[in-house]
Amino acid sequence: MYYNQNTICLLDGKYLKAADAGANFYSQSLHYGNGVFEGIRAYETHKGVSIFKAEAHFERLLHSAEVMQLPVSYSVQELVEMSYELLKRNELTDAYIRPLIYTEANMSLNSSQRTHLFMAAWRWEKLFKDKIPRLMTSSYQRPNPQAFHVEAKVCGHYVNSILATNEARRKGFDDGVMLDMDGYVAEASGANIFYEKNEVLYTPAPGHILPGITRATVLELCKELRIKIVEKKITLEELKAADGVFLAGTAAEITQVHSIDDQTPVMRWEDTFGFMLQKKYEDLVKQRERRWTLI
Ligand code: PMP
């Protein structure tokens, strides 16, 4: 449940009951998907509630709006402050925060020059519950980067993710691995993908993916842990012959992958870099000071 009678949301700078908030049925966002959004996560830490990489998320929101020519009058700092206020008003600690920039009534194919900011937050459950997801190769490719700004988080892009997820669920899997238009591995429906082979980590280079903030965090952690990581074009064969595979995303955090097309990774999860990165990521978002070293 995303909201109840007591939930407060933010609409154009005002905090109001979610049940009382409404949008215009003539919005271009509703008809054509021309809106932008973010998926952000807050954690309860020993220093109080902390929104992980809040600035980076709101910078990406403003970037997404800019490529879609949707004007936004808020600064990153204002957006960060409003998101903390929203958590406070809803007494939320471990939560998911969803800002959305959507348009006024406009049935034309020019971007609206007036936009609205909606922001909601809700208690968060694990993305795959306690399941270790089984992936399948999706028959849906990632969109052509010459047709969309694939690095931006635009509402309409998510039709692609919905198609991939629907297909995976219909066939008894938990998620799809989408390939790019050239047949290389791109990402899952809502998370980036990594694999380990012979003590090196690999992940698809930017170009066809949404280069996630969690992905960037994994790259930083690898530097710190001196794990060699290579960004490159990856074939499905390489991915399926991996020692270990994991997904990375705000919602997914670091999630072990059980299998791809029923092909399981070679190594035990606990022996992979993914396992160590999962613990390290958890410590980071929860601001725990534990020291981790590679033996
Ligand atoms: N790829 C896609 C398609 C996504 O929707 C997401 C979630 N935003 C990601 C990757 C991961 O991005 P992030 O780590 O910034 O959440």
Bridge partners (DSSP) listed for residue 254: 248
CATH, residue 149: 3.20.10.10
- Residue 92 and residue 13 share a domain: yes
- The order of strands in the sheet holding 253-256 is 229-232, 200-204, 192-197, 244-249, 253-256
pTM score of the predicted model: 0.96
β-strand pairing of 244-249 with 192-197: antiparallel
β-strand pairing of 244-249 with 253-256: antiparallel
Question: What pLDDT does 295 receive?
Answer: 47
- Written as six digits, the tokens of 52 are 């992980």
Q: 179-211: b or e for each residue (b if 16 or more CB lie within 10 Å)?
A: bbeeebbbbbbbbbbbbbbeeebbbbeebbbbb
| Domain assignment of residue 246, given as a range | 134-285
- Residue 153 and residue 98 share a domain: no
Q: Which residue's structure tokens are 């959305």?
A: 100
Atom of ligand 1 nearest to the CA of 56: 15
Atom of ligand 1 nearest to the CA of 187: 1
Query: Could you say which of 53, 153, 197, 240 is catalytic?
Result: 153
206, 210, 212, 216: CA torsion to nearest 10: 10
Q: Checking phi first, is residue 69 left (phi over 0); if not, alpha (psi -120 to 50) or beta?
A: left
Q: pLDDT 10s per residue in the chain (295 long)?
A: 899 999 999 999 999 999 999 999 999 999 999 999 999 999 999 999 999 999 999 999 999 999 999 999 999 999 999 999 999 999 999 999 999 999 999 999 999 999 999 999 999 877 787 899 999 999 999 999 999 999 999 999 999 999 999 999 999 999 999 999 999 999 999 999 999 999 999 999 999 999 999 999 999 999 999 999 999 999 999 999 999 999 999 999 999 999 999 999 999 999 999 999 999 999 999 999 766 555 4
CATH, residue 46: 3.30.470.10
* 153 carries an active-site annotation: yes
Which residues contact ligand 1 via a Cβ below 6 A?
Answer: 39, 161, 187, 190-192, 210, 212-215, 249-250
- Residue 55 and residue 20 share a domain: yes
- Residue 268 and residue 166 share a domain: yes
The radius of gyration of the chain from alpha carbons, rounded to an integer in Å, stands at: 19
Which of 91, 122, 153 terminates a domain? The answer is 122
Neighbouring residues of 207: CB distance < 8 A, sequence distance ≥ 6: 145, 180
